[in-house]
Amino acid sequence: MKSLILFSIIVACGFVENVVSDNNQFPYKTILNFGDSVSDTGNSVTKEPFGANSPYGSTYFKHPAGRMSNGRLIIDFIAKAYGLPFLPAYLNLTKGQHVKQGVNFAFSGSTALDKSFFDQRGLDVPKAAYGLSTQFEWFQKLKPSLCTGKEDCATFFNNTLVLVGEIGGNDINAIIPRKNLTEVREFVPHIVQAIANMTSKLIEEGAVHLVVPGNFPIGCISYVLNQVNSNKTEDFDEFGCLRNYNAAIKYYHDQLKTAVDELRQKNPHVIITYFNYYSAARRLFENPEQYGFKGKPDTFKVCCGKGGRYNLNEICGLGNSVVCEEPSKHINWDGFHLTEAGYRAVAQGLLEGPYATPPLKTPPFKIPKE
Ligand SMILES: *[C@@H]1O[C@H](CO)[C@@H](O)[C@H](O)[C@H]1NC(C)=O
Ligand SMILES: *[C@@H]1O[C@H](CO)[C@@H](O)[C@H](O)[C@H]1NC(C)=O
Ligand SMILES: *[C@@H]1O[C@H](CO)[C@@H](O)[C@H](O)[C@H]1NC(C)=O
Ligand SMILES: *[C@@H]1O[C@H](CO)[C@@H](O)[C@H](O)[C@H]1NC(C)=O
Ligand SMILES: *[C@@H]1O[C@H](CO)[C@@H](O)[C@H](O)[C@H]1NC(C)=O
């Protein structure tokens, strides 16, 4: 009896060890990510300091960590769920650094469309210089370190998840203060085309598992609420989000989903997952308490800021902004970006809930509660 128990323990330990150390059991061995501040893990801070400033990173990393939140982002939770390290930022790579488990090309403030697109329309969007075209060039430069030759690259991409976004949010942000919603809608096909083009180019490079995310319900995002500062009850839905802005995002999503469908038809050997950020985030604003967040009237108040209707009179990291007492009870961190708790809830909805179509391969690990 005694030896049987001992035997079972040894077998059990051996099994656990095996699961943890045997990389073959992990559905993806590499993650490549493109996007903006929603998933930037350190690219933009190599060029400019904002975002590196305290109190960014303060809750989880205990110091600024190149991320535009108080802690981990959706991409961090995804990497961890698949047993992979946090993605190193491409611009922060050191010579000879291990890149085979993933690299992040996302750059805060960047756009789906090229800078020339905005220039032609008299819109000054400097970070568009780090948009999808630039991120694609970075990827092409790095590619020889990822795989070489047809066979090696086929095996490499068979085990690689490639995320094309979230991107496009800054294209919309760049237009919103200057254009009305009718004009915003006119930009939508261009943004969608840029994302579809990028996805196509990555498929040509060999990607076979891709993710294209939609965007957040911008009508529920504190920066937009603050910017519009409406006093008309008819502008808001029953949850306190701006109807028109969310309608514009839905319009954008319909086109994006159609573009993704077209890419699927053109490339039947490829799997493209659509991440429904909109619904995964919107449920938090609809039922904040159910997900552990503050209910009305604090649902839309940012954690890092100071004063005013949305706690946005002082911007996070500047002036006299302060960090709220319980960051995990706020959905929004600084106006634009979610808190780690907000991103965690969205990531859960994508990996463990119904907001990925088709779902990604089953992650070996659950998203941590803390
Ligand atoms: C940049 O790279 C250095 C050296 O590898 C590392 O210590 C630092 O944490 C990285 N920065 C970010 C934001 O990841
Ligand atoms: C890639 O995966 C597919 C299906 O999972 C398999 O049929 C194919 O042989 C794999 N190719 C390589 C080069 O590993
Ligand atoms: C939006 O702006 C355009 C160009 O300035 C104008 O022609 C149009 O009437 C505006 N639409 C609405 C709904 O305000
Ligand atoms: C997308 O690609 C097509 C074909 O290469 C090109 O004509 C078009 O300008 C591109 N559009 C965007 C927005 O990148
Ligand atoms: C809404 O009311 C507040 C307080 O009375 C005022 O400061 C703000 O300008 C009003 N917003 C608009 C869009 O009129």
Ligand 5 binding site (Cβ under 6 Å of any ligand atom): 229-231
Ligand nearest to the CA of 175: 3
Strand duo 271-275 + 209-213: pairing: parallel
Q: Are 321 and 305 in contact (CB under 8 A)?
A: yes
Domain that residue 56 falls in: 26-217+241-280+340-357
DSSP 8-state assignment for residue 49: -
Q: How many domains does the chain have?
A: 1
105 part of a folded domain: yes
Handedness of CA 140, 109, 326, 343 (dihedral sign): negative
**Residue at 14 is within a domain:** no
Burial of 228 (0-12, 13-18, 19+ CB in 10 A): middle
Q: Please state the atom number of ligand 2 nearest to the C-alpha of residue 151.
A: 13
- 102, part of any domain: yes
Within-domain flag for 92 = yes
Atom of ligand 1 nearest to the CA of 42: 13
Cβ of residue 66 lying under 6 Å from some atom of ligand 1: yes
Task: Say which ligand is closest to the CA of 120.
Answer: 4
Asked if residue 303 is part of any domain, the answer here is: no
Taking residue 287's Cβ as centre, other Cβ atoms within 10 Å add up to 13
Is 209 considered catalytic here?
no
3-class state of residue 170 by DSSP: helix
| CATH code for position 259 | 3.40.50.1110
158 Cα to the center of ligand 2, angstroms: 6
158 lines ligand 2 (CB under 6 A): yes
pLDDT in tens, the chain (370 residues): 333 333 333 333 333 333 444 455 789 999 999 999 999 999 999 998 766 689 999 999 999 999 999 999 999 999 999 999 999 999 999 999 999 999 999 999 999 999 999 999 999 999 999 999 999 999 999 999 999 999 999 999 999 999 999 999 999 988 877 888 889 899 999 999 999 999 999 999 999 999 999 999 999 999 999 999 999 999 999 999 999 999 999 999 999 999 999 999 999 999 999 999 999 999 999 999 999 999 999 999 999 999 999 999 999 999 899 999 999 999 999 999 999 999 999 999 999 999 999 999 999 999 998 8
Is 237 considered catalytic here? no
pTM over 0.85: yes
Distances in whole angstroms, Cα of residue 132 to Cα of each of 2, 35, 136, 166, 210: 62, 7, 6, 11, 15
Instruction: For residue 230, indicate whether it is catalytic.
Output: no
Q: Residue 232 C-alpha to ligand 5 middle, in angstroms?
A: 10
* Bond from prior residue into 354 cis (ω within 30 degrees of 0): no
Please check whether residue 369 lies inside any domain of the structure: no
The DSSP code for 332 is B
Q: Is residue 41 part of a domain?
A: yes
Establish if 114 belongs to a structural domain.
yes
Annotated catalytic residue, options 21, 22, 37, 253: 37
Q: Evaluate whether 317 touches 53 at the Cβ level (below 8 Å).
A: yes
Concatenated DSSP letters of 188-234? HHHHHHHHHHHHHHHHHHT--EEEEE----GGGSHHHHHHH----GG
